[in-house]
Structure 1
């Protein structure tokens, strides 16, 4: 299900469903959206703090539901990730979300929301950089900025080696809807009613701060749960700050080779999607084609 595109003059809602937000950082991002002709409405509890959370679960959930129900809000942009969306995932009003399809944008801890909402409603959501954690950084670049424009009209995206070098671990070409996100959050869905479905899908993974042995363990869990076998292909995004702190260690490349040495479907790594710049924003749930021959990822539009 596609959400409606943005238009100049539309209002977007900003809320914090996970970690706490620093007011000065979020406010620095406002000009970015205002320069695109958008108005901003903040959630009532966006600046709340409750330990490592942006307020109590009930308040963060209420902000989200209020933004979904408000027909004047055309997109919900999450201020930052961190931790916490999984704590209220079973309280989401999926009927309300399906009745009011609108753009939902974020990544990292937001992976839990992306997965649960897409599988319950069919809504395409967006994996992209967030105002208070990414857009205030000095290295927030032109490409990352330009990719917000896909929200203003149906846009076919193509990722090629003109953006970054890509490494092929298994040859092939596959087409399917793209699913996934942060690897550690995807693993957290396993064994729950919101378990990631990868059957005939292109599975995308990324993460930050996870050493090779940790990534190895999470990949093994995906393998044992049948998620790798079910997938039509694997898209390996950015794994930032993954340098091993303890030696000896396998390199990340050796971890990928282990899990995909006998794989019969395409596996391509090196995509700048995740905790990195450029951050290539993608519509999760949209139809995509991964090709090892052309070293490209082609994505259908996420809005109508």
Structure 2
């Protein structure tokens, strides 16, 4: 299910479903959206704080439901990640989302929302940079900014080595819906009603601040759960701040090779998707093709 594209003059809703938001930092991001001709509506609890959370679970959930129900709001943009979205994922009114499908945009801790919403409703959502986490930073670049235009015009995206060097770990070509996101959040879904389905899908993984041994453990958990075997191919995004705190350590390349050593499907690493710049934003749940022959990831539009 695709959401309707944005038009100049539309209103976007900004809420904080995870970590607390600095008011000054969020307000710095407003110009970016206003320059695209968008109006901004903030969640009632956007600046709440409850420890490491942006307010109580009930209030963060209420902000989300309010934005979904508000017919004037055409897209929901999450202010930042952090931690906490999974605390209310089982309370989300999926029927409300089905009745009011709209653009949902974010990444990192938002991965659990992407997975739960897509698998319950079929709605395509967007893995992309967020106001406080990315847009206000000096490193926020033209490529990352340009990709927001896919929300205004249905766009066939092509990721090639014109954006970053890519490393082929297993040859092949596969087509399927692209799913996934933050590796640690994907692992947290295992054994729950929101466990990610990778059957015949392209699996995207990325993360930040995880040492190689931790990434190794999470990949092993996906392996034992059958998620790697089920996938049609693997898209390895950015793994930022993954340096080991002390030697000895395996390299990330060693970990990838270990977990796909008997894999018969395409695996490519080096995609600038995740906690990085440029941050190549993509729709999740659309048909995509991963090809090692052309070293590309091609995706169909996420809006209509």
Aligned residues: 304
1:105-146: CA deviations, max 9, x gaps?
A: 000000000000000000000000000111111000000000
Counterpart for residue 36 of structure 2: 36
Counterpart for residue 133 of structure 2: 133
Question: Which consecutive unaligned segments of at least 5 residues does structure 2 have?
Answer: none
What secondary structure, in the 3-state scheme, does the structure 1 residue paired with 2:134 have?
coil
TM-score, normalised relative to structure 2 = 1.00
Counterpart for residue 17 of structure 2: 17
Counterparts of 2:87 and 2:235 in 1: how far apart (Å)? 28
Counterparts of 1:29 and 1:68 in 2: how far apart (Å)? 22
Counterpart for residue 234 of structure 2: 234
Counterpart for residue 163 of structure 2: 163
Question: Which consecutive unaligned segments of at least 5 residues does structure 1 have?
Answer: none
Counterpart for residue 256 of structure 2: 256
Q: Tell me how far 1:262 sits from its aligned partner.
A: 1.1
Counterparts of 2:228 and 2:252 in 1: how far apart (Å)? 17
Q: Tell me how far 1:246 sits from its aligned partner.
A: 1.7
Counterparts of 2:132 and 2:285 in 1: how far apart (Å)? 25
TM-score, normalised relative to structure 1 = 1.00
Counterparts of 2:289 and 2:35 in 1: how far apart (Å)? 33
**Which residues in structure 2 correspond to 1:1-304 (within 5 Å)?**
1-304=1-304
Counterparts of 1:58 and 1:127 in 2: how far apart (Å)? 24
Counterparts of 1:235 and 1:39 in 2: how far apart (Å)? 34
Coordinate RMSD, CA, aligned: 0.3
Counterparts of 1:213 and 1:21 in 2: how far apart (Å)? 31
What secondary structure, in the 3-state scheme, does the structure 1 residue paired with 2:214 have?
helix
Q: Tell me how far 1:153 sits from its aligned partner.
A: 1.5
Counterparts of 1:132 and 1:277 in 2: how far apart (Å)? 14
Q: Tell me how far 1:71 sits from its aligned partner.
A: 0.1
Counterparts of 1:248 and 1:8 in 2: how far apart (Å)? 53
Q: Tell me how far 1:230 sits from its aligned partner.
A: 0.3
After TM superposition, what 4+ stretches of structure 1 lie above 2 angstroms from structure 2? none
Counterparts of 1:292 and 1:211 in 2: how far apart (Å)? 28
